[in-house]
Structure 1
Amino acid sequence: MEVRAVARFVRVSPRKARIVVDLIRGKSVAQAQEILAFTNRGIVETVEKTLNSAVANAEHNNQLNPSTLFVKAAYVDEGPTLKRIRPRAKGSASRIRKRTSHITIVVAPREEA
């Protein structure tokens, strides 16, 4: 039984968010929370909030024990890009792309073999 949580339209570029999400993929929830606590990136708060939401969904909706959960999948998709214009020399303009991300974290209980 997998449970997921999605944070949509997060105002950070997907490339920056993937750096943090790659750190926690495949780890246990406790280990992932520990890694996020000591990672010095701006997006960490949002990733941690999404991870905690996935754990709460698993605990509340599916009665799963949080200590047995691990991060089965974690990925970042590109959201819509806000396009802005910056004035440049000689009356020209350049485009500024303000990128957004959709962060998805899937947790599942680890099967004991």
Structure 2
Amino acid sequence: MKILISNASEKPIYEQITTQLKAMIISGELLPESPLPSMRLLAKELRISVITTKRAYTDLERDGFIETVPGKGSFVAKKNTELIREQQLLLAQEHLQKAVDAAKHFGIPRSELREMLELIYDGE
């Protein structure tokens, strides 16, 4: 599992971990019931505090992405298809918002933006 931490990021480290693990789960890179590294092991690999990895795992569990079994570890939760779909839509919406903001900034009309979206979506 490859998690990249940026000290230059405005996001706290636990949030960077949470975001990347969610993306891996949503994309299917991490399958349901797959084991995650222990909090201590992840902290050691990333050279961060165990408290930071605990916060990330706690947030992931609260959001329904992972399950923790005492004495056994943390695992990717069985997929809740509605939750996954909602997360995918949210991610797409965030990217589209950036595109709309850029188009407005550069004075690109809605019709041209819509045409670009259709071309990109259709793979042309």
Larger % of strand: which? 1
One fold, TM greater than 0.5?
Answer: no
Larger % of helix: which? 2
Compare relative contact order (CA 8 Å, sep 6+) and give the higher one, 1 or 2: 1
TM-score (norm 1): 0.29
